[in-house]
Amino acid sequence: MEQEDRQPISLLGICGSPRPKGNSRYLLQIALQAAADAGGDRLRTELYTIAGKEFKPCTSCYTCGSREGECFLEDDFRELRDKWAAADAIIYSVPVYHLGIPGQLKCFIDRLGNSLWSYYGGVVAKSLRVFGVITQGAHLFAGQEHTTTALINHALVMGGIPVTGDPWEAYIGAAGWTACGDRKDSLRQLVEAGDRDAQVTVRAATSLGRRVAQMALLVRAGGQVLRAELEADGGYTIFLDRLPSTAEKVRQVEVERRMAEDRLPMDPRGG
Ligand X SMILES: Cc1cc2nc3c(=O)[nH]c(=O)nc-3n(C[C@H](O)[C@H](O)[C@H](O)COP(=O)(O)O)c2cc1C
Chain residues in the site for ligand X (CB under 6 A): 17, 19, 22-24, 95-99, 136-139, 142-143, 178, 182, 184
Output 45 or 178, the one with its CB closest to ligand X: 178
Output 138 or 200, the one with its CB closest to ligand X: 138
Output 94 or 215, the one with its CB closest to ligand X: 94
**Minimal distance in Å, beta carbon 234 to ligand X?**
41
**44 residue type, one letter:** R
Q: Which helix (H) or strand (E) is 135 found in, with range?
A: strand 130-137
Q: What is the C-alpha separation between 85 and 109, in angstroms, rounded?
A: 12
Output 45 or 136, the one with its CB closest to ligand X: 136
Q: How many C-beta atoms surround the C-beta of residue 82 within 10 A?
A: 11
Q: Which helix (H) or strand (E) is 44 found in, with range?
A: strand 43-49
DSSP one-letter string for 139-182: STTSSHHHHHHHHHHHHHHTT-EE---STTT-SSSEEEE-TT--
**Minimal distance in Å, beta carbon 29 to ligand X?**
12
Closest CA to 48 of 90, 7, 101: 90
**Minimal distance in Å, beta carbon 117 to ligand X?**
30
**Minimal distance in Å, beta carbon 10 to ligand X?**
23
